[in-house]
Structure 1
Amino acid sequence: MGAVAVEVAKASTGVTGDTARIPFRHDSSIDLTITSAVPVSGTVELLHRGRLVATATVAENGTVSVTIPDRALKPGRYELSVRYSGDELNAPAEGTVEVQVGKAKVIR
């Protein structure tokens, strides 16, 4: 009797996050959520125009806090690409998140 191969489809996933306001010249975290019907693992990458800005590991419940290093983005408004790597149970996903970087405050 021969072996039977069974392929199990990965769960659909999504990436969500609210608009974030962060200060210039300070490491700042933004919170994202990977949505899935099953526990998740893996990593998230934040990119600006294809350039890697930050990475973080996803918690089993789908939450992830991504730290954007100081000076990674100049003051202004950005739409960053978010890429979730997927894992053995979850399909990869992509999305965007809006980030507004404030101007540095001058202290006199």
Structure 2
Amino acid sequence: MNIDRVLIAWGRFANSRIGTEYPCIAAGMKLAVMPLSRYSMFNLTDEACFLIGEQILKLKEKQDLRYEILMARYALRIEDVDICKILNISRATYFNELAKAKSYIEGAIDSAKIDIHFL
């Protein structure tokens, strides 16, 4: 499984739900949203997206910073450098926390036996 590809597809699905299903994220995040065209390569089923979203919400309960990073990068499509500025963290911290967040989500998807099929 390519976790980046999965999270990009999930983020595209989740983008339209920001402010409804997902809790608020750090102030200023919506100001740096990237255009949709960079993230329109593939789709997951709605069921898979909802299940992945549940795992991402579980991450918020455990590691709020990692949740903020995932939401900013994949759902809001904010550039890495802008996320570092908004969250006031170093690039090293950002990439370290992003790697841990992706690892957590990949493990959660595997343990929850979420069926990943791209459309």
TM-score range, shorter chain: under 0.3
Q: Radius of gyration: which is bigger?
A: 1
State the TM-score, normalizing by the size of structure 1: 0.28
- Structure in which a larger fraction of residues adopt helix: 2
State the TM-score, normalizing by the size of structure 2: 0.26
The higher-RCO structure (CA 8 Å, 6+ apart) is 2
- Structure in which a larger fraction of residues adopt strand: 1
